[in-house]
Amino acid sequence: MFIVALLILWRVFKLNFDFGLVLSIATLFAGISWSIGYYLNLANLLDESRSYFWILLVILCVRSFGYEPYQIPSSSMEPGLQIGDFVLVNKYEFGLKLPGTYISINQGKKPRKSDVAVFYAPHTFCDIKPQYARPDLASLSPRESQLFLSRFLSLQKNRCTKLGTKYVKRVMGIPGDKVVIKGHEIWINEEKLEQNIILEDESQNLYQETIGNRIHTIRTLAKSGYDEYKWQIPEGKYLALGDNRDNSLDSRAWGYFSEEHLVGKAEYIWLHWGSFSEI
């Protein structure tokens, strides 16, 4: 009964559904079935729905208010996060939301620079305008503005859904920050980030990048183009980059992600070639 309901919902949302919303509906359905079984004295329905209700409720609570599993879908966060890795996303770090919605329940911490965040990217919603992703669009030069509009709309046309899509990236700028990228070099509030090379070969370079007292590893191609980007990050917006800098669809292409679209903080890799480690 419940498996059929989940399959129907999956089909309705064309394989792009918020599993938290599905769990909420399934839990509600189980609760209603339990009530019907109780009041109509239907023993089989009562026993079955009661068992499903408590199982689904526990899963819903853990997933919505504790930790949510998330599978890495691309190579954009390599070398730290590999395709297929499963990470645990801390849902309460940045504030809890009602399951299946963007309605905040409590005020959590603000994302810090270098945090690995899971969020819904703006271009993955069909009803979001480019100006939402770049409120500072008017401050860009005509060429930069047109380039961003063209890129954003093209991405949105090919990738948007009604429910949006979750991305995982590293937070590189918070509200009020001025961020400048020249090639692979980054300045935050006019301070250049320290990037110490740890591997250099014919195909790639690996660097240890330092933001404050936090260190992470990034990858670049040995031979890549030179691009410049400048951002003055507005309130409620965040700048995100992939650690695999030359193979990442991130803020350079689709702008800022919004605080309201935060899902949580990726904290642990719980399935990575049999290991369990902290990100």
Instruction: For residues 56 and 126, state if they share a domain.
Output: no
* 229, pLDDT greater than 50: yes
Average pLDDT, stretch 226-249?
95
Instruction: For residues 140 and 255, state if they share a domain.
Output: yes
The band of 14, judged by pLDDT with boundaries at 50, 70 and 90, is: very low
Structural domain range at position 122: 69-177+232-272
> What is the enclosing helix (H) or strand (E) of 215?
strand 214-221
pLDDT for 217 equals 97
Whether residue 224 lies inside any domain: the answer is no
* 37, pLDDT greater than 70: yes
Average pLDDT, stretch 38-43?
81
Q: Report the CATH number at residue 170.
A: 2.10.109.10
At residue 155, the 3 state secondary structure works out as helix
The band of 277, judged by pLDDT with boundaries at 50, 70 and 90, is: low
Whether residue 206 lies inside any domain: the answer is no
Distance CA 201, CA 245 (A): 16
Which pairs count as long-range contacts for 222-228, CB under 8 Å and 24+ apart, including other chains? 224/183, 224/184, 226/182, 226/183, 227/181, 227/183, 227/252, 228/180, 228/181, 228/182, 228/183
> CA distances (Å), 85 to each of 73, 193, 247, in order?
8, 28, 17
Whether residue 223 lies inside any domain: the answer is no
Q: What is the per-residue pLDDT across 63-107, written as a single tens digit (0 to 9) for each?
A: 888 899 899 999 999 999 999 999 999 999 999 888 777 888 888
Instruction: For residues 94 and 28, state if they share a domain.
Output: no
pTM confidence score: 0.83
At residue 14, the 3 state secondary structure works out as coil
Q: What is the per-residue pLDDT across 113-132, written as a single tens digit (0 to 9) for each?
A: 999 999 999 999 999 999 99
Instruction: For residues 136 and 241, state if they share a domain.
Output: yes
* 15, pLDDT greater than 80: no
State the average pLDDT for the chain.
Answer: 88
Instruction: For residues 30 and 49, state if they share a domain.
Output: yes
Q: Can you name the residues that pair with 228 across neighbouring β-strands? A: 182
The full DSSP string for 159-171 is: H-BSS--EEEEEE
Instruction: For residues 44 and 140, state if they share a domain.
Output: no
Average pLDDT, stretch 160-176?
95
